[in-house]
Amino acid sequence: MRQLDIILFGGSGDLATRKLIPALAHIMQNSDLLDHSRLLIAAQDVRDDQEFRTAFAARIAPHLSETTPEQLDRLMRRMDVMSLDLRAEDAWRSLSDWLSPANDRDIIYYFAVPSFLFASLCRKIRQHNLNPPQSRIVVEKPLGEDLTSAAEINGVISETFAETQIFRIDHYLGKTALQNILPLRIQNPGLEALWHADSIDNIQITLTETVGVEGRTELLDRIGTLKDMVQNHMLQTVALLTMDLPQNLTASQIRRGKIEVLQSLRPITEDSILSNMVIGQYRAGTLGGQTVSGYQEEISASAGTGEMFVALRIFIDTDRWAGVPVYLRTGKRLRQRCGEIVITFKPRSASPDANERPRRLMIEIHPDQNILSDLPLTLHNPLAEGENTRIQDAYEKLLQDVIQNDQTFFVHWDEIEASWRWIDQISHARQKVNVPMQSYAPGTNGPISSHLLPRQDGKYWYSNRVDKE
């Protein structure tokens, strides 16, 4: 096995300490993928090495489930620490020395830093010839705030790394339930035979949170939930769910299928936005027995304009999904933390019995991961295969894929381009049409008017967790 060096830029930040380092610790504990590896924490706040290590270990420890002190110590022994000032040539020469000779090992650069730093990092890596063909780069969302800024960032990255070296991470694609959507369809031919507009009445995707902005006030007020959640997590879920089955589950074929869906989304324009979109902000109230501030109280500088809730009614203009409404909703300070897909099938007869319950397939994404069905089919549930084993964190799964150079559950630039193009059309429509910002109480399912989206089609929201029939 080749030697591997992992460099975490922003390695002392919240993402690294809560998610990345614990994920690497679990990979080291449960596999041999990191047996010949080194880890470098590159951060600006390093003064004393030992003092940094002690504080770093204390910050990581609460996030290490099922990891013993001995295993944590093993990881810390593999870890080097470097103070890296982007502007300091001495620091980059030190990084070059640490990696030397760069051509003799695999290299993973993880950019756990704001996207405005991507350009400087890529230029320095290229300038110092630290981007050999076997190097890879992992970048976090959000990749830009619209198509123009995303293209600029991608252009800079692509000057240093080829598309085959770029791993654009969306941690939702690491969730077990989403990774098993295609296996579910493949392993159940009877279900796949129903996976089209002739049999499916509507699709609903719910991603809700009980938390508020949690220190991301400035960013979220600027971009809103549409760009923070819909552009990536929700559209990736839509694409993975509705793509045509590929001939095989290779990265290139899965990505191609998702791109076709994203490019087929019907535009939401100024003529259609009011019947296809509801937005809102939470007000002050109580949630889980605790008093919580309203969004406007959390915006101290000025009146907040970002939507913290969004519901959409969308259509995919392909033969497979012609006329099938897809309802999306996501927001903060809602009743429960829930991620769920609900597919409602059409009645079995043209004149259904009034008492006939709708037939549904429900895919629970979180907090549980399960598949529930009312269909008269015996389904092979791929999620049940590992039900007695530890559920891997999404970052753990995706980092394993990066280490093994597998891009299957990472996002191709063409997917990002298509999703931003569609989101930008909505943003442009909002500039011309006043979409009312609805107020909603914390601990509810969002603005009451969000129920009008499915109701105009004679349907209603349904979630196994947050709604009741």
Which amino acids are annotated catalytic? 233
Check: CB of residue 339 under 8 Å from CB of residue 257. no
Check: CB of residue 173 under 8 Å from CB of residue 410. yes
Q: Residue 451 gets which letter from DSSP? A: G
CA dihedral (40, 46, 49, 55) in degrees, to 10, reads -90
Check: CB of residue 433 under 8 Å from CB of residue 276. no
Buried b (16+ CB within 10 A) or exposed e, 74-102: bbbeebebbbbeeeeeebbeebeeebeeb
Rounded Cα–Cα distance for residues 406 and 442 (Å): 41
Name the amino acid, one letter, at 350. A
**CA angle at residue 199 from 253 to 354, to 5 degrees?**
155
What sign has the CA pseudo-torsion 239, 244, 250, 255? negative
Return all residues near 204 (Cβ < 8 A) that are at least 6 apart: 326, 327, 328, 329, 341, 342, 343, 344, 454, 461, 462, 463
